[in-house]
Structures are given as structure tokens and as C-alpha cells.
Amino acid sequence: MAEGGGSTSGSTFGVFPYPNDPLPLKTLYPFVNEDETPIPRCWSSKDRYNHIGLSQNNLRVHYKGPGKSHKDAASVRATHPIPAACGLYYFEVKVISKGRDGYMGIGLSIQGLSMNRLPGWDKNSYGYHGDDGHSFCSSGNGLPYGPTFTTGDTVGCGVNLVDRTCFYTLNGVLLGTAFRDLPKDLYPTVGLQTPGEVVDANFGASGPFLYDLRPKLEEVRASVHRTIIEHPLSLPGGEPCDQVKWTDILNKMVTSYLVHYGYCSTAEAFARASTTDFTEEVASIRNRQRINKLIMCGNIGGAIALVEELYPKLLNDNPNLLFRLKVRQFIEILRGTEQQSHVSDTNGATNGFSAPPSMEDPAPCLTPDKVLKHTSVIQSTRTALQQSGISRSSKGTPMQAPSELELNARNSSSTFGGADSNNSDGNRSSRSPPLPIVFSSSDHGRPEAITVPDEESSDTEMDCLDEPMPVTDDRPAGDLNGVSNGVDQHPNDEDMLVDDDEPEVPQTNGTCSVPSPKSQGGSCGSTNWPRGSHVETVLAFGRELQAISEKLRRTHGKNKANKRMLQDAFSLLAYNEPCLSPLGWQLETAQREPVCQALNSAILESQNLPARPSLEVCASHAQQLVNLMSRSGLGASAFTQITSLLHHSPKPYQIQRCSVMTETFPQVVGLQAPSTDLGEPRRRSKRSLTGDRFDNSLPEPLPPRVSSVISTTSHVASSSTTSSLPSTSVSSSSNNNNNNNALQAASSNSFQLLESRISSPIGHLTAEENSAEHLNGNAVVSDEEMVTGGGDNIGDSFTSLRMSHFDGHNYNEDFILKTSSDVVDFASPAAGSRLPTSQDNSLSNSLSGRAGEVLDDAVQFLQSNSGLQLWRAGERPAAQGDLVLPEASAAGALPSSTPSSSTSSTSSSISALDPSSSNVTETNWQTTPRQ
């Protein structure tokens, strides 16, 4: 009977989508925005004739009618029509039993047609029938098309949404085009007619297809690409343009881009070579370049000062911009990039925090002396701290320490590379104080770090990335690579608090290149918590910020964005390892970029120049068009490859960019959403897009932690990462957006969280032998050693205020910040373990004198400014549940876990994988005692 032709011979075993792909539909149809157009996943229990029975998650169809004549035919449609954005859609149906006569039809139909028919018999209905092998195109009469099919055969039906044709496969062999000129919004449809007929469908989520779709995908992609390339070069309404004009357009756009961002010498070289002009004066470009550079290096204070100097009116006219800069400055101070001497030291003006040397020296060429001078206050504080025996690593959080060790083992000599180049940058190119003050410390043991020659050279326009390497340290290859990406790696930031005895994490900023999952802390640099006088600085600045905010509100009315910005920034105070917190994205150096752009645009606008370079507008426009295309039912949108254009990374460096991640693990992108979504105006609007995975991925690299997890443990790890947030909305399977929402919800409620006493691995995790645990363990050991010296210094007190720290012996119970209503606490994601309440010492006991005051200060500050409620240890309501989310250990455990191949429900697979996440939904949790 049936299996003529190719049914058994030569079937290529498809391996696509891959058997263990947790989100195969996302792999197959990356551009589909399932919020708007869900992809069919099963048969509809409503849209079927009575004689159809469904089982096995509505994937199996059996006939239960009398089957006497064609009047007893019955069919069923899938739950949703095929989204055009699929580009190329495909599903397979396996014949489990041909029943009595094997009158089975497999195909497509629009909604609203009678279900008492086989697909293909009616208008806008199409089918391939098993009994005769004919194709039925909206007609009761079929045309000879392929072999007949019967029990054991697998029929595939593919829809090319670019040219609106349909093809079939039989047992993995392509049969050729069956239908053309298909209408839109077709549903996968199957029809049966005689008793005993049973078929199973695979909509892509039930494992790889028998037919390998990839060559077909490639074919369509290539043909779309050809069409695009050959499209006439003409703008609507404009005349066609020839190669010369086209080149001219490109040159102009490139020039204006270069000028816009102040790539001054490039612009000059390019303009010369391409004979393109630009209008803005070089001096003006240079000014902007200097300002941008300061911001990108994290020296916001310096930037503000310079702006005030060069464009006196600008910030006055843009109070919101100034506020935004200030908030960024706060974050920079928090992360230790920007050092404040004392609040009171600097002037009391709005810009009280701008770096003193700039203020003193408006036409500035900073000498190293000044740097040193500026440094000294802080340095002395530090020295004092060190002398008191507390040389606690600024980075010694449990998760980070091992990564440093490991990284340093690899790059042992890399230590001060980043900072050096920053330093030299500061000296050479900027007129304001370079901030990595640490390196000027004489107790530092590396005096050469500060004696960077002042290369006040012709190259003033070059920035920090100039890599002059004035110091003898070898720069490891990885480090150099890291620097290849401009934005992310303006070196510097990290190291203000680095202690001498603690190796510095090599620059891994913002890149995803670090292969080790342990190196999560990399990009956040020294995200440890401020301590000592730094605490005061932070708090004082925070107060000022609050004041500015109130003033702004009074004079300009409420501003949600500002409010949120401030809240997000303040919330960082609440975390022990802020860079791993849901709000940790704020600490990424990449977050300087939007601030920098906003300022740059404001300056340009004030000079009547466009706020954005046309190149960028065009790129976004193209993206918008592609999204609009997929919303408009143009299937070609799936094959435009706009992502690879927009996310282009030159090959040699490809591995390090997250575009690779995006391509390879599309579903992961959802994870980064919260980090990009919250603070920035770039929050994805609802209408913005199909293919929104790309949207999400546009603005930022993955948060480093996430990405490193991804890079090693891939999908499952990240899925469970997601799931470990206290939200139940993760349940919707394989849907990025839901995950986003979950994360977003979680992070926006960050005030609820926080009881994050990170410490040693404990509780339910103790039993698990996993790498994360080892990480913790190591960290704890080293940290305890450091801590034993003296427990009551200011720094430590703040550290524990920061809700965490592995120094469980000293202050186990810290504060618990929570909202009044919600009882969910959760540990800072990285840590994932908690300390026993029973062993808690009262925090204040272990603090003394001034430390206590600072702490009180801090508490007050937090309470008054962020709406947080804080409890002292012991005051904590007893009945509360503690939700502990051992994300890191979950990730660590994952490599050994078997990824669930059935992805119809991601959430279930997640809970299976993550031993702890099953608890996620329980609100009341018993405190797990430490062993």
C-alpha cells in the first residue's frame, strides 16, 4: 500500500530541533512574539467535530464516529493559526493506526469551516490524504500528489509564509510543493473518517522532526537575502540612486555617526579619505568626547563639572538630566568607582560632588600631584582600616572569591592592567581627576601603578582604550580581548577598594567572554559593599540625591522615571551582592552608556544638532520595519537576518559577545530583560515587537552572571534561574515573556526581598555536592580568616548591614528588609543559603561606637528613602516565611542534571531540576538551621 517512493528509503534523520532543546519552538520560530501570536502547540478541544477524540495532551487524535460514509468525516484544528512571523512553519503527524480504511487527511484550513469534513474539501482548506495520496486544494477532487500513507508513516506539512506555499514530507522525505497562494491565518488541521484511525502530532515541541528542516530554512533565507540585496536602491518618492550616490549616502552617515559620538580623529581621517564634510567644529567634538569619556569611565562628577564649565546652561535647563547623572554618580560611588572625599569637603552647590580638581582648575590639565592629593583622604582612611587589621577583601563575597582565584591563576600577572590604562587615561586625556585612587596608595606595593607617565601627547583625543600599557605588567590576552568592545570596558572602575593583598579580578567587564561559570562577579567588579567612611559618603550622597529629587518634584511635578531611578539605585544598598541582585544591572559599566548618550544628545540638541545619529535611527527603523512586517503577516520578516546585521561581531571575537548567546540560546534572553527593562526608558513597549527576543537583547549584554551561567549550563540552567524567583508566573511554558514578567515582578518588588545573609552553604543545600557549594565554602574560609582580626570596624558593620556576609560568626542576623505586606524574603540570588536564626547575634552587639552610628544612619536612611522597613535581629516577626532561592547552587547542580526533553511545560521541568525550586511557591518556609 502506502509506503511507495521515499517513505522508507533515504529518510534523513532530522536532528532539528535538537532533542534536548528546552524551547524548541523558540528555536524553530525565533521571531514569533507569542504574546501576540501564539504558536500552535496542540489540537483544540473546542474546534473539532464530535467524532474526534483527543488524548495525550491533545496531541493524539482518534476517530470515534460511525465511519459509514464521508458524511461521518471529522476533523480538528490546532489551537492557534500559524503566525506569519514563523517564516517557515512545519508540523508532523504520525499515523499510529490507519484504522479501518485509513481515510486520513492532513493539512491546513482557516477557522470557521465545517469540521464535519476532511481538510482540503472546502474553500480555504488544504489536505493530503492517506488513502489515495492525493492533494486536495479547496475541492472535493484531489490531484495526484504523493504516495499513500498508512500505519507507521509520518507525514509532515510545511508552510512557507514568505511565498505562501505548502509542501509535504513523508517519513522525512520532501514531496514538493502541494499548494500555492495560501490565505493567511491557516490552522494545522487533521481529519479522520473511519473507526480505529489514530494519529499523533508533533508541533515541534515533541522532539525532533523526522524531516530535517534546516536546508529548507537555509534555502528560504538565502532567497530572501538575495531579494533584499537586489532591491533597487531607492527611497520612496526618491529617484533610484546609483552606486556612487549610495556610497555617498553611506559615507555621510558614517561621518555623522563618528562626529556624533566624538570619535574625532576617526572622523577626520574618514572625512579626508572619503571626501565627506562634517560641520561641527573639531573643538566642539573634542569637548563632547571628553565628557563622554568621563562618563564611560564612571567619573560622573568630573563629567558634570566639565559640562558645567563648557555648557553652563545645559544642566540648568535639563534638571532631569542632571538628576539622572546624579543617580548614576550615586551608583558609581556605590560601586566604588567614583570616590568622594567627604561630602562636606566639596562645595555645597548642586554639584557638590563633582571632583574637586576640576572645580579648582577649570582650564585643566591635571597633574599627577593633584591626583595624589585628591586621593589622600580616602587613602588614609583605608590605611587606617588596614592597620586595624581588617584587610577584608572588597571582593571576597562567596561567589566571587573563587572566581578571582581562578582567574588569577590563569592570568596571574594581569593584575593592574585595567586600572593602569585608566590611570593613564586620566592623565593624558581628561581634564579631571582620574579616579582609581587606590593605585596611588603608597602602601600599595605597586607604586609604578601611579607613576604612569603623563603622556600629554598629541593623542589627547584617544581615550582610555588606547592601551599604552605604561606599566610593565603583562596584559593577558583575555584582557586585551575584553578591551575590544569599547563601551564596556573602559577599564578603571573596579578597583577603588581593592586591597593590596587581594588579587584583582581582571577586566572582564560587560563581556561575556569569561568562560567560567564561577566568574560571575567579573563584570560588577568590586561590588562589595562600601564600608568605613565610604558608607558615610554613600549615605550622605544618597541624602543629597533624595533632596534633589524632592526639589525636582516640587518644581517640576512628579516624575515616575526619576522616582523609579532613585528607588532602583537606593535598593542596591539592600543587597549583599548587589551585582547579583535583580537590580544589579545598574552596576554594569554598560549602564553608563545610556546616561552618556542622554547627555551627549542633550549637548548636541542644545546646539541644534540631531540628538541621535542617523545611522542609529536607521538601524532602529529597520528593526521596527521588520517587526512591523511580521505583525503585518509578511513571513519574509523571519528571514531578514536583521539580528545578525545589528548584532554583528567580527568573527575573531564572536565568542565573547552575547549576540552569540542570543543566537544560540534565544530563550535565554528573557533573563536579561529585567536588567535592561527596569531603569531605562528602553523598556519594551507592548507593541514593539515580534522577535522581541532581539529587542531585549539589543540594549545590553547579558548580565554577566546570567551569561556565564548560560555559557556553561545552557538553557536549563537559565530556566531554573528564572524559576527561582518567587513568582508563580514562570509556569507558562517556554515563553520568554512570561519569564520576563516573572523576573520583572520579582525585581520590581525588590523591596520585599532581602534577607540575604549569605554565608556558608547550608540548609538543604548542604547535602548537595555541587560546585556552587564549593565556591561558597572556599569563600567562607578565606573570609573568616580575614574577619577574625577585628569584628567591630566600620566597614564590617556596614557589610553586615548590607544584609549579608559570610562572616556568620559575627553577625548572623542582620536586618530583614521587607515590605509590610509580603512575607517573601529571598536571598540574594548568588548566595542561596541562609544562616540560622538561632545563632544570630544581635547585630548591634557586635558593633561598637561609631560603627553602630553609621549603621543606624544607614538604617534610617534606607527607611526614610526607600520605603523599606527594617527589623533588627530579634525584632523580626517570628511567623514569617523565608524563601530561600539557591539559584547559584541550582546552576551549579545543573550540569549533572538531565535536561528535560519534553518542554511542553518548562516549569515542571524546572522544578524537577532544581531541588529547591519546588519550594518556590510556598509562602511559609521554615528557617533552615545551619548544620
314 contacts: CB under 8 Å, gap ≥ 6: 307, 321, 602, 603, 606
Secondary structure of residue 175 in the 3-state scheme: strand
CA distance 55 to 52: 10
* Tally of CA atoms within 13 A in the half-sphere of 700 that contains its CB: 35
Using CB under 8 A as the binding rule, the residues of this chain from 300 to 319 that contact other proteins are none
Residue of the chain from 327, 498, 540, 634 that contacts other proteins (CB under 8 A): 634
Residue whose grid cell is 548591634: 844
User: Does position 466 bind other proteins by CB under 8 A?
Assistant: yes
Phi, psi of 125 (to 5 degrees): -135, 140
User: Does position 622 bind other proteins by CB under 8 A?
Assistant: yes
* Nearest C-alpha neighbor of 800 from the set 747, 844, 831, 857: 844
CA distance 514 to 410: 11
Q: Whole-number minimum distance, CB 327 to other proteins, in Å?
A: 19
Number of residues that bind other proteins (CB under 8 A): 124
CA distance 814 to 816: 6
As beta bridge partners, residue 793 has none
Using CB under 8 A as the binding rule, the residues of this chain from 800 to 819 that contact other proteins are none
- Choose the binding region for other proteins from 143-151, 375-383, 588-596, 829-837 (rule: CB under 8 A): 588-596
Residue of the chain from 119, 172, 436, 594 that contacts other proteins (CB under 8 A): 594
Q: Whole-number minimum distance, CB 496 to other proteins, in Å?
A: 22
Q: Whole-number minimum distance, CB 146 to other proteins, in Å?
A: 16
Please tell me whether the peptide bond between 319 and the residue prior to it is cis, using omega within 30 degrees of 0. Answer: no
Residue of the chain from 200, 479, 593, 825 that contacts other proteins (CB under 8 A): 593
Cell of 718: 537559565
* Nearer residue to other proteins within complex by CB, 243 or 344: 243
Q: Whole-number minimum distance, CB 142 to other proteins, in Å?
A: 21
CA distance 591 to 606: 23
- Choose the binding region for other proteins from 364-372, 543-551, 627-635, 774-782 (rule: CB under 8 A): 627-635
Using CB under 8 A as the binding rule, the residues of this chain from 651 to 710 that contact other proteins are 651-653, 657, 659, 681-685, 687-688, 695, 698-701
Secondary structure of residue 13 in the 3-state scheme: coil
Residue of the chain from 42, 355, 569, 629 that contacts other proteins (CB under 8 A): 629
Residue of the chain from 446, 647, 774, 850 that contacts other proteins (CB under 8 A): 647
* Nearest C-alpha neighbor of 693 from the set 723, 654, 730, 667: 667
Q: Whole-number minimum distance, CB 185 to other proteins, in Å?
A: 9
User: Does position 321 bind other proteins by CB under 8 A?
Assistant: no
User: Does position 246 bind other proteins by CB under 8 A?
Assistant: yes
User: Does position 387 bind other proteins by CB under 8 A?
Assistant: no
User: Does position 469 bind other proteins by CB under 8 A?
Assistant: no
CA distance 758 to 748: 21
- Choose the binding region for other proteins from 432-440, 572-580, 610-618, 859-867 (rule: CB under 8 A): 610-618
- Choose the binding region for other proteins from 338-346, 347-355, 463-471, 768-776 (rule: CB under 8 A): 463-471
Cell of 924: 511559609
Q: Whole-number minimum distance, CB 39 to other proteins, in Å?
A: 18
Using CB under 8 A as the binding rule, the residues of this chain from 477 to 496 that contact other proteins are 481, 483-490
Q: Whole-number minimum distance, CB 286 to other proteins, in Å?
A: 11
Residue of the chain from 15, 70, 242, 785 that contacts other proteins (CB under 8 A): 242
CA distance 321 to 448: 38
Please state, as a whole number, how many other Cβ atoms lie within 10 Å of the Cβ of residue 414. Answer: 23
Q: Whole-number minimum distance, CB 126 to other proteins, in Å?
A: 14
Confirm if 711 and 516 have CB atoms less than 8 A apart.
Answer: no
Using CB under 8 A as the binding rule, the residues of this chain from 267 to 286 that contact other proteins are 268-270, 272-274
User: Does position 218 bind other proteins by CB under 8 A?
Assistant: no
Q: What is the DSSP string of 680-702?
A: STTPPPTTS-TTHHHHHHTTSPP
User: Does position 265 bind other proteins by CB under 8 A?
Assistant: yes
Secondary structure of residue 930 in the 3-state scheme: coil
End-to-end CA distance of the chain: 69
Confirm if 67 and 105 have CB atoms less than 8 A apart.
Answer: no
CA distance 783 to 207: 47
Please state, as a whole number, how many other Cβ atoms lie within 10 Å of the Cβ of residue 6. Answer: 17
User: Does position 249 bind other proteins by CB under 8 A?
Assistant: yes
- Choose the binding region for other proteins from 179-187, 200-208, 326-334, 553-561 (rule: CB under 8 A): 179-187
Using CB under 8 A as the binding rule, the residues of this chain from 145 to 164 that contact other proteins are 160, 162-164
* Nearer residue to other proteins within complex by CB, 468 or 892: 468
Residue of the chain from 8, 20, 111, 165 that contacts other proteins (CB under 8 A): 165
Using CB under 8 A as the binding rule, the residues of this chain from 831 to 860 that contact other proteins are none
User: Does position 877 bind other proteins by CB under 8 A?
Assistant: no
* Nearer residue to other proteins within complex by CB, 118 or 321: 321
* Nearer residue to other proteins within complex by CB, 405 or 615: 615
- Choose the binding region for other proteins from 255-263, 345-353, 446-454, 576-584 (rule: CB under 8 A): 255-263
CA distance 836 to 900: 34
User: Does position 640 bind other proteins by CB under 8 A?
Assistant: yes
CA distance 483 to 503: 20
Phi, psi of 841 (to 5 degrees): -95, 155
Using CB under 8 A as the binding rule, the residues of this chain from 80 to 119 that contact other proteins are none
User: Does position 616 bind other proteins by CB under 8 A?
Assistant: yes
Instruction: Give the Å distances, CA to CA, from 666 to 136, 219, 692, 778, 883.
Output: 37, 22, 10, 34, 29
Instruction: Kindly give the residue spans of alpha helices, DSSP state H, lying in 724-842.
Output: 736-748, 771-787, 794-801
How many residues are recorded in the chain?
931
Cell of 320: 532631569
User: Does position 228 bind other proteins by CB under 8 A?
Assistant: yes
478-484-486-489 Cα dihedral, nearest 10 degrees: 0
Secondary structure of residue 332 in the 3-state scheme: helix
User: Does position 564 bind other proteins by CB under 8 A?
Assistant: no
Q: Whole-number minimum distance, CB 127 to other proteins, in Å?
A: 19
Residue of the chain from 12, 56, 347, 620 that contacts other proteins (CB under 8 A): 620
User: Does position 227 bind other proteins by CB under 8 A?
Assistant: yes
Using CB under 8 A as the binding rule, the residues of this chain from 22 to 61 that contact other proteins are 36
